[in-house]
Structure 1
Amino acid sequence: MTAEPLPESLPGPAQPTKPRWPIPPPGGWTVDHLFSLPDLPPHTELIDGSLVFVSPQRDFHALTLFLLERGVRQTVPDSLRVKREMAVVINSHNAPEPDLSVVRAEAVTGRRQTRYDVKDVVLAVEVVSPDSEARDRDTKPRKYAQAGIRHFWRVEMVGEEDRPVVYVYELDPATKSYIATGIYHDHLKLTVPFDIDIDLSEIDQL
């Protein structure tokens, strides 16, 4: 299945230049399209056969992601690897890109790798942005849970000081849904999926 290209120009008087967006094929885009279409914007996601383009991120997003990645890397066991903004293939029509993932070490095959299979993901983390609230709070966690990712964190910006709050969830395998296990404001200290100890207030010094 291939997408038909948009015409380069139309006959008649000169027209203002418009963005050339790819036209979806019947049945929607697939993972094969996501990784083969030329010139897609960085960090494009595939959700239910639709391409989702990412808006420019706030400073909060970049700093929070750095803080969490650094903290998780400090204690991650040798059997796991920490990955930032990498596609996770759930099925042929869904390849979201968590802000941060922890994957099994054996799933890492090389430095040219562009994706991971959902069965190899132990933890998925989403830092909520204004344009992604519905996806990060509902769509993506539901898909992560149904696909069997055991641990999920949702991170929000709250308070007058715009600090991160981490909402921690664990999978109930019987219902394939997440159960909230804690809300962490200043200090994220966990024992699963491994020992994690992060001072969230350090964002003020970054």
Structure 2
Amino acid sequence: MTAEIAHHWPVPPQDGYTVDDLLTLPDLPPHTELIDGSLVFVSPQRDFHSIVIDMLVAGLRRTAPLEMKVRREMTVVLDKRNGPEPDVVVVQADAVRSRNQTCFQAGDVLLAVEVVSPESEARDHDTKPHKYAAAGIPHFWLVEMAGFDHAPVVHAFELDKTKRAYTPVGTYRDTLKLTAPFDVDIDLTEIDNL
């Protein structure tokens, strides 16, 4: 006879979860996100996802001005029913208030970065950029694995404030060189050394 494992899944409230629920529910799996009042549990990540995040964080921190900070995998409160967790964010330095902090407000975020995973492809391409733009986050990068060598490709976008939508700035394959949200120069081929 095999023992059955009992799962105690959280039962959503009638109107869905709120960010307050996301930040206080006990025993949620790491990197749980809140999208439209629903909890989204993240699948285990691939090596590509992990090393691209490391490479971008290191590259951004090298050139970030003192008034900006770079963080990985932190909840961003967009509104009462949306608390996604971008893979990388650049925030105003004064938004970092404590080492116990678990989230940032959308108004403090200058750049949100999503590294696409197979299980999150639709959210990373459609849902999250739309929500980030609606919340007024000025810059968004989408990073994908491409080509036979599975190299990172970064698609950079900037917010059109009148349309509350992102417009493309450029696509970067070997070198990510931008002047916003600050001067960025990251060698994307460095992934082969990580």
- Quickly name the TM-score band, shorter chain normalised: over 0.9
Which runs of 4 or more aligned residues in structure 1 lie more than 3 Å from their structure 2 counterparts after TM superposition? none
Instruction: Kindly provide the CA deviation profile for residues 1-26 of structure 1, in whole angstroms up to 9, marking residues without a partner as x.
Output: xxxxxxxxxxxxx9722422100011
Q: SS where residue 45 of structure 2 aligns?
A: coil
Q: How many correspondences in the alignment?
A: 194
2:46 paired with 1:41: no
Instruction: Kindly provide the CA deviation profile for residues 70-102 of structure 1, in whole angstroms up to 9, marking residues without a partner as x.
Output: 000000000110011000001110000000000
Match of 1:7 in 2: none
| Inter-partner Cα distance in structure 2 for 1:181 and 1:144 | 16
- Kindly provide the amino acid, as one letter, of the partner of residue 66 in structure 1: D
Report sequence identity in percent.
Answer: 60
2:154 paired with 1:166: yes
Match of 1:119 in 2: 107
- Kindly provide the amino acid, as one letter, of the partner of residue 117 in structure 1: Q
Q: SS where residue 4 of structure 2 aligns?
A: coil
2:186 paired with 1:204: no
| Inter-partner Cα distance in structure 2 for 1:195 and 1:31 | 33
| Inter-partner Cα distance in structure 2 for 1:133 and 1:48 | 17
Instruction: Kindly provide the CA deviation profile for residues 27-46 of structure 1, in whole angstroms up to 9, marking residues without a partner as x.
Output: 00011111111100001000
Match of 2:42 in 1: 54
Match of 1:133 in 2: 121
Please point out which of 7, 19, 24 is paired with 1:31.
19
Gaps of 5+ in 2: none
| Inter-partner Cα distance in structure 2 for 1:90 and 1:103 | 14
Q: SS where residue 38 of structure 1 aligns?
A: coil
Gaps of 5+ in 1: 1-13
Q: SS where residue 71 of structure 2 aligns?
A: strand
Tell me which structure has the larger Cα radius of gyration: 1
How far has the Cα of 1:124 moved from its partner?
0.2
Aligned-pair RMSD on alpha carbons?
1.2
How far has the Cα of 1:111 moved from its partner?
0.3
- Kindly provide the amino acid, as one letter, of the partner of residue 84 in structure 1: R
| Inter-partner Cα distance in structure 2 for 1:31 and 1:173 | 25
Alignment of 1:1-206 (within 5 A): 16-206=4-194
Q: SS where residue 35 of structure 1 aligns?
A: helix
| Inter-partner Cα distance in structure 2 for 1:19 and 1:120 | 37
| Inter-partner Cα distance in structure 1 for 2:119 and 2:56 | 21
Instruction: Kindly provide the CA deviation profile for residues 154-205 of structure 1, in whole angstroms up to 9, marking residues without a partner as x.
Output: 0000001111000000000010000001000011011111000000001011
- Kindly provide the amino acid, as one letter, of the partner of residue 139 in structure 1: T
The more displaced of 17-26 and 127-136 is 17-26
- Kindly provide the amino acid, as one letter, of the partner of residue 186 in structure 2: I
- Kindly provide the amino acid, as one letter, of the partner of residue 90 in structure 2: V
| Inter-partner Cα distance in structure 1 for 2:6 and 2:148 | 40
